[in-house]
Structure formats: structure tokens, C-alpha cells
Structure 1
């Protein structure tokens, strides 16, 4: 396996919660077609944070066991029992998005600071930003996929602008984690409208201009501010 999570020795917390919820479905506590309790209620009942509950639910959505409906809640799919039985051996776990974001908040502001120390404009980065701004049809799945790939490349390009091979390698690990299905499921649910996408591009512009002008303090600040927004959007959105 080439996933970051394959190196972990113990199950991640969201995996434990997902297995418990799956067991409740299999045992009939949550019958097919029924609505699960609200995330806050599940969080209290299971003794974990809401972000962990959200990750567990997203994992079960990816497995075809649950379905989230906007402004309605999370439901057990009619074919959930068949999906559980057909799964057989446990699937290789994705990296917890909470863990990924915690690492990104620690690492990426520093990478931006290194890039700002070089302080040069970058034609490739400007092309990425122009392409992101040009995407307007957020309802189109292909356009969303393209936007998300450009977003991933943007953050990798910051490391490339630093010229530091270790920073570039670290950014590659992060890029792999944010391309895993669990991250994509939470991202697509939390970052779902054109206004939010435009705000992200605006924040990307601030980050890039700070780096290009050599303002290390601003580059670090804007990256952290942006990642805190991402954290809120995909893990604690209403």
C-alpha cells in the first residue's frame, strides 16, 4: 500500500467509530432506510469529537453504507447490509483528515515562509490561479474535479517555489493524503458552492503575492488563515 495511513500501527479513531457504527447497522440498531442521530448526539454517545464522527460517517458513505442528504441528515442505505457483508476484510484506511489538517497547519506556513525567502514570481503558479478563477460551472462534476486538482497543485507549487527538496518531498506526502477518498468526500461536502471556491482563490492570491514579494510574515499568516478556513469548512461546517 502507498497510502500514508498504511504506516500507522494502531487504528485511527475515526476507523474505530466507523466500525462501531457499521456494527450498529449490522445489528439492526440503525435499520436500513432510517436516519442516524445528529452528529452532536452521536458525538456525545460515542465519547468522541464531532470531527471524528464526521470522518467516520464519510468513510461509511464511501463504503456504500450511509448517505448524507443536504439539510436532512444521514441515512442508512437500503443496500447497507449487503455492502457490509460483501466488504469482507477491512479496507485499507485513509489518513484521517483531522490529522492531515493538524500537520498542514504546522508545516505549510513554514513552507510558505521558505518560499517567500526566495521571493520570486512564478509563471506556473500564476497559470494555476488563472485556471482556478476561470472555472465557473460549479455544478459540473468535471469542473469541480479540475478545480480540486488545481487546488492540490497550488499547495504543492508553494513548496517547489521554496527550492528546498525536503519541503518539496513533505508537500508530496500531503498532496497524497488530500487525494484520498475520505478527504475528497469531506471536501466535496464542505466546499460545495461557487462563492466558497472564489473565496479560496482570493486567499490563494494573497498567499502567492506575499510569497512573490518576499513577505515571509504575511505568507505564513495567510497560509495559516486559509487552512483554518479549510478546517472549519470540511470538519465543522453547519
Structure 2
């Protein structure tokens, strides 16, 4: 049975598909949305976080949560990817990291080569990681993990390639598996590790903003290799 937050996310996606919600539209606040749906605010918050990872919702500090401008295109890309039988619905952490190491450095390099400069969504996710870098707090670890997944997915968005966006969304969904989350939480619970990984994310983002494809690729490789060591998969 799907969890409550997943049911809420499904409801919002269905509203978007039916035109009840529109790209660019501001969503009601958490309290109002919870009242409308007859659920708790915590479930609404989790649902919005899950949709943010998929690139369907974005949160603007001080302004609220909005449907992204290209939400329908992202849903279409995800639908096409989901209809491809060769892609797994689940995967072990080892296989997932192996796939990420093969794919994500090239996504970062292409994002840099596109010469888009600094991406405001990438910058916002870095800020969110900085605000949730206390490994002692379970809620901050959850927020960190969500921002981490969204960061890597956003790099695919910067490439402008819908196939890579769909692949990145699938990788992000695999990082929502319970075993991955357990290993991830344990790996970043060690003091100092979130600080180090934040620095690595900033190096990747800076290389992309500078248009340095080689540096973006290398920093991403180093980041994934370190994550693998932190998760004790070597």
C-alpha cells in the first residue's frame, strides 16, 4: 500500500494532468493544503518534497511552493521512461552507485558545456544543504538527502536533454528505496561528512557555472567515489 505522502503527491499530479493545477501556479500553504485534503501537515510536507525531487514543484523562500514551468514536460518524460521495461523499479545501492558513476559525470560535463552559467535552482539546493548539514538531527538528514537527490537531478535539467532528465529522475526514485536511505543516513551521520560533501557539491556547481566540462566531470567522479566509501560499499 502506498504511503500517505505518496497518495497526496499522486493527487497533486492528477490535478496537474487534469488542468486543475497549472504550470507556474502557486500552491496553497501547507496548512491550507492539509485542510483541503484532510491530512496532516507532515504528510503534505513530505509530498511536496517528493514532488520537488521530481522537478514538479519548487519552493521559493518567502513565497511558497509553485508548480514548475515545465512540470508537464517532466511528467511526460517520466511516463516514457516508466513505460520502458528494461529499467528496474528497484536496485541495490552497489548497482545504483555504479550506474551513477557512469552517467552523472557526463551529465555534469554536458551541463557545463552548454554554457548556461549559474543555475538559480542549483544555488537554492546548495543553500538548503547548508541549512540542513547537522548530521545529529534526523529531520536535517532527511532534508539533506532530499536536497542531494534534487541537486543531481537538477544538473540534468541544466543540460536541457529530456532523455537525461528522465534518466536522472529514475535514478532519484531509486535513491528513495529503504536500503539506500538507511545506508545514506548512516553514512552522513558521521560529523564532518555533510560539510565535506557540501564542498564537493559546490565544486561541481562552480565548474558547471564556469563552463569547465572537464572539472565538472572530475569533481562528480570524486564525489560519487567518496559517497561509495562513506557507504562502505568498497
SS at match of 1:235: coil
Alignment of 1:96-135 (within 5 A): 96-119=92-115, 120-135=117-132
Matched with 2:200 is: 203
Alignment of 1:38-49 (within 5 A): none
- Judged with a 3 Å threshold, the aligned counterparts in structure 2 of structure 1 residues 176 and 202 are, in CA distance, closer, same or farther, namely same
How far residue 136 of structure 1 moved from its aligned partner, in angstroms, is 4.5
Q: TM-score, normalised by structure 1?
A: 0.59
Larger radius of gyration: 1
Residues of 1 paired with 2:220 and 2:182: CA distance? Answer: 23
Residues of 2 paired with 1:167 and 1:224: CA distance? Answer: 17
Alignment of 1:1-238 (within 5 A): 94-119=90-115, 120-236=117-233
- Judged with a 3 Å threshold, the aligned counterparts in structure 2 of structure 1 residues 234 and 172 are, in CA distance, closer, same or farther, namely same
How far residue 138 of structure 1 moved from its aligned partner, in angstroms, is 2.5
Q: Is the 8 A contact 1:105 1:224 kept in 2?
A: yes
CA deviations over 1:125-155 (Å, ceiling 9, x no partner): 1011012112243222111111110011000
SS at match of 2:200: helix
Residues of 1 paired with 2:104 and 2:114: CA distance? Answer: 16
Q: TM-score, normalised by structure 2?
A: 0.60
Residues of 2 paired with 1:195 and 1:137: CA distance? Answer: 9
Structure 1 residue runs of 5 or longer lacking an equivalent are 3-92
How far residue 194 of structure 1 moved from its aligned partner, in angstroms, is 3.7
Matched with 2:24 is: none
Residues of 2 paired with 1:147 and 1:190: CA distance? Answer: 12
How far residue 101 of structure 1 moved from its aligned partner, in angstroms, is 0.6
Matched with 1:87 is: none
Residues of 2 paired with 1:164 and 1:226: CA distance? Answer: 23
Q: Is the 8 A contact 2:133 2:141 kept in 1?
A: no
Deviates more, 1:188-197 or 1:224-233: 188-197
